[in-house]
Chain A
Amino acid sequence: MLTYLIRRLFAAAVMLVVIVLVVFSIFFLIPKWTGVDPATMYVGKASDAAALEGIRQKLGLDDPILVQLFEFFKAIFVGRDYTSAGSTTRCDAPCFGYSFKTEQAIWPVLTDRFPVTFGLAIGAAVIWLIIGLTAGVLSALRRGSIWDRASMTVALAGVSLPIYFTGLISLAIFSYGLGWVSNEYTPIEESFPDWFSGMILPWVTLAFLFGAMYARLTRATMLEVMGEDYIRTARAKGVREMVVIRKHAMRSTMTPIITLLGVDLGMLMGNAILTETTFSLPGLGQAVLKAIGERDLPVILGVTLITATAVVVANLVVDILYSVIDPRVRLA
């Protein structure tokens, strides 16, 4: 188990380094290939030559790519000083770059916005797991019943409706129409009830989309698992049906669910852009959307890295969970 863990951790670390390399290369090579001076993206309307030169110096854009890459990695551990025209901007470690659009180091922006996206993802995941697993298990056990058909129809709707559609409609009804919940984000440290009130619609909307997938997957897996020989064995031992389902069947059903959950939690960043935009949540998604609109490369780079890290970490957690659940994996 320990060697397995170490191996997985090492693989995850290698993966992250590769991601940094690739992302970095993309962001710094593409402007070179397309012939667009990356410095022009940092200055405003005035194409003042001095301004361009200043930016180039500060960001070290004239340095060879390897030097830039080294500087980038170094900054993560020891911080970095951006200097030009006798003016120095300090970016403390861990320095993931510096946005000259907003004059902020990237790391504080990420740490400021990450909790929003993280809260969104985790809250939604909790809801969709509860809804998806319950609906899926009940459907599988009452296969062919009205409940099964109804919940699978709703699930189909959930899978096929885009998030901005369900999001806008639920906002219009529950927030603007009935006034039950807040349409605004409040940081959790300011007021828990307000935070909760503002998060409930985004959670439910996201959970509706994902819960639907989980319900369908749970149902299919559960049906398969209930036909397994070891379930028959459990029954033959005289195990109560409730225990058969809860202990023997659910454990196996969880395996694909957890795999999917790991992928989804990572990929949720993509959906977070839509959800955060729809519900105006100040999370990573909005930050990157804004950054893309303004070609604020350091922010895009930072968010890409944190997202990639989230995916890698989520997968690592899944792998570990997986091995806890399924002892056979530890061998692999």
Chain B
Amino acid sequence: MTDLSKTDAAVAEPAAAGSPAPSAFLEVRDLKIHFPTDDGVVKSVDGLSFQLEKGKTLGIVGESGSGKSVTSLGIMGLHTVGQYGRQKAKISGEIWLEGKELLTADANEVRRLRGREMAMIFQDPLSALHPYFTIGKQIIEAYRIHHDVDKKVARKRAIEMLDRVGIPQPNQRVDSYPHEFSGGMRQRAMIAMSLVNNPELLIADEPTTALDVTVQAQILDLIRDLQKEFGSAVIVITHDLGVVAELADDILVMYGGRCVERGTADKVFYEPKHPYTWGLLGSMPRIDRERTERLNPVKGSPPSLINIPDGCAFNPRCPYADIPKGDITRTERPELREVQSGHYSACHLPREDRERLWNEEIAPKL
């Protein structure tokens, strides 16, 4: 195995589970998050591995139900409270953050990391902010959990943060309630709250989905600027490749709880190696190019995470499932293989067919 820490790519093939502590800032190894339900086990995340360095941004892309949000909650240690209710999630694998393994760590220790070392921005700031407390109170609380300061100092800090995220008249708005803010303002406030402790890892879960298109761009710019300023590692989770296009250094495409393609943003955007990624690219609205023939986005619906089909999970929806010989697509699960240096894909399509399809059918239509 090569010395991965020296490669330029933030994303490298991680070590197998059980290996000694990695040197990467964040490393996830063979993460599995399963929810036992009355109908069966929901395998939301089923063997996911990746690395992330400080100052870099990773985009995790996939449809809803692909396991991307659960992954982020798993990292934060918040996966136990899922929508599946009474039974606790089963989590396995390793999550290393700055040399500390989180899954085996004491729950209280992880709690203290939350908000300080790693922070999160949620999709819908209206529901993610407590409706009964002022913005200021919520930011102050976030700050004072991790800093032993009095309210005055914390308030100053909150105003400072609101100012930094571009909220006008932060002195007054600090005492406003979430419902008194516009959608974009709320998300700015949310970002201010998550960054108040200078976290080293910021996870943004669909940070712009609930916002107007015009506001979306502003928020993305803000995240990018702040990342530069704070030097944190950022994970952006989205179903929309457009969001990560300008933001991410690396992209990880998830499908059915697994990674199907991973590589630098350039590689994934310009030389995608997986039919699912093609589909995602096809459904991406692009302003810079007139399209005469619109490529259909991915047809069908995501697989049930309880009964993930044998073989390739994408098989039922894959337009090219017939190409590989035999019934390998239905019986054997494709492994994540390095198809280029630092570019991984999990697909049974023979290399030649894949190149041909990309070059002849897909790329021209994008």
Partner of B145, one of A229, A237, A328: A237
Contact status B131-A328, CB under 8 Å: yes
Contact status B86-A236, CB under 8 Å: no
A59 interface hit (Cβ, 8 Å): no
* Bound CA span A239–B145, Å: 7
Mark interface residues in B57-88 (1 if CB within 8 Å of A CB, else 0).
00000000000000001001010010101100
Q: How far is the CB of A272 from chain B (nearest CB, A)?
A: 33
B179 interface hit (Cβ, 8 Å): yes
Contact status A229-B114, CB under 8 Å: no
Contact status B132-A238, CB under 8 Å: no
Mark interface residues in B108-140 (1 if CB within 8 Å of A CB, else 0).
000111111001101010011111101000000
Q: Which residues on A sit within 8 Å (CB–CB) of B113? A: 238
B146 interface hit (Cβ, 8 Å): yes
Contact status B130-A234, CB under 8 Å: yes
Which chain B residue lies CB-closest to A251? B132
Would you mind naming 21 contact pairs between A and B with Cβ atoms under 8 Å apart?
A143-B86, A227-B81, A227-B83, A228-B127, A229-B124, A229-B127, A230-B127, A230-B129, A230-B130, A230-B131, A232-B78, A232-B122, A235-B81, A236-B76, A237-B114, A248-B130, A251-B132, A326-B132, A327-B134, A327-B179, A328-B177
Mark interface residues in A10-33 (1 if CB within 8 Å of B CB, else 0).
000000000000000000000000
Within 8 A of B (CB), among A209-262: 226-240, 248, 251-252
Q: B: which residues have CB within 8 A of A?
A: 73, 76, 78, 81, 83, 85-86, 111-116, 119-120, 122, 124, 127-132, 134, 141-142, 145-146, 177, 179, 193-194
Contact status A327-B130, CB under 8 Å: no
Known: A229-B124, A230-B131, A238-B142. 12 other contacts (CB 8 A): A144-B86, A228-B127, A229-B128, A230-B130, A236-B78, A236-B114, A236-B115, A236-B119, A237-B119, A237-B142, A239-B145, A327-B132
Known: A143-B86, A238-B113. Contact between A325 and B132, CB under 8 A? yes
Known: A236-B120, A238-B114, A238-B145. Contact between A327 and B81, CB under 8 A? no
Q: Which residues on A sit within 8 Å (CB–CB) of B142? A: 237-238
Q: Which residues on B sit within 8 Å (CB–CB) of A227? A: 81, 83
Known: A144-B86, A227-B83, A232-B122. Contact between A239 and B128, CB under 8 A? no
**Secondary structure type dominating chain A contacts:** helix
* Bound CA span A237–B122, Å: 12
* Bound CA span A326–B178, Å: 11
* Bound CA span A179–B73, Å: 58
4 nearest CB pairs, A to B: A238-B115, A238-B114, A229-B127, A237-B115
* Bound CA span A234–B127, Å: 12
Q: How far is the CB of B37 from chain A (nearest CB, A)?
A: 13
Contact status A232-B128, CB under 8 Å: yes
Q: How far is the CB of A289 from chain B (nearest CB, A)?
A: 42
Q: How far is the CB of A222 from chain B (nearest CB, A)?
A: 13
* Bound CA span A251–B132, Å: 8
Q: Which residues on A sit within 8 Å (CB–CB) of B129? A: 230, 233
Contact status B141-A237, CB under 8 Å: yes
